[in-house]
């Protein structure tokens, strides 16, 4: 099978985002206000090359300045990979494509509030944890992760 990525409408990734990031919560809990930002973009990773290939990983990025920094910044939200697709490098491949897209859109820095349980993933992708762990409801413990693109 072939893995491919694409910029897509949010509706294409919503089900995976909700299922992975907000299990047991109402669908509305997976709607982010940033989804409607005019410069936001959503990316899907597909496991296969056919029209019916399932979305197995997703991410949303949008312009948002990181406080205390002057670089053009994009923020990552809603990164998720289906349980059955984990450990195959698909999330890493999608993130690489998303960072390239953000760079093309002028981003010099990318940041996110990433789950503590995913710290190894973010650091393995070149992000640095900044500051102390904090809790975001309803998702739990997080760190601020930052990566420079230039």
Write the pLDDT tens digit of every residue in 50-82: 667 889 999 999 999 999 999 999 999 999 999
Angle of CA points 92, 39, 137, to nearest 5°: 60
In angstroms, the CA 67 to CA 41 distance is 21
Write the pLDDT tens digit of every residue in 27-58: 999 999 999 999 999 999 998 776 678 899 99
Domain containing 119 equals 3-148
Domain count, the chain: 1
Sign of the torsion angle spanned by Cα atoms 84, 62, 134, 125 = positive
For residue 121, the domain's CATH number is 3.40.630.30
Q: Is residue 54 a contact partner of residue 84, using CB atoms and an 8 Å limit?
A: no
Length of the chain measured in residues: 150
């Amino acid at each position: 099978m072939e893995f491919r990525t694409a910029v897509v409408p949010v509706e294409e990734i919503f089900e995976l985002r909700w299922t992975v990031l907000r299990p047991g919560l109402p669908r509305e809990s997976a709607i982010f206000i940033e989804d409607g930002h005019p410069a936001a973009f959503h990316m899907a990773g597909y496991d296969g090359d056919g029209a019916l290939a399932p979305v197995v990983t997703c991410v949303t990025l949008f312009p948002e300045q990181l406080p205390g920094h002057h670089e053009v910044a994009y923020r990552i939200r809603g990164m998720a990979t289906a349980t059955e697709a984990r450990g195959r490098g698909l999330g890493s491949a999608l993130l690489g494509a998303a960072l390239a897209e953000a760079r093309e859109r002028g981003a010099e820095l990318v940041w996110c509030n990433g789950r503590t349980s995913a710290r190894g993933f973010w650091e393995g992708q070149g992000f640095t944890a900044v500051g102390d762990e904090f809790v975001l409801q309803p998702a739990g413990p997080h760190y601020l992760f930052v990566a420079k693109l230039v």
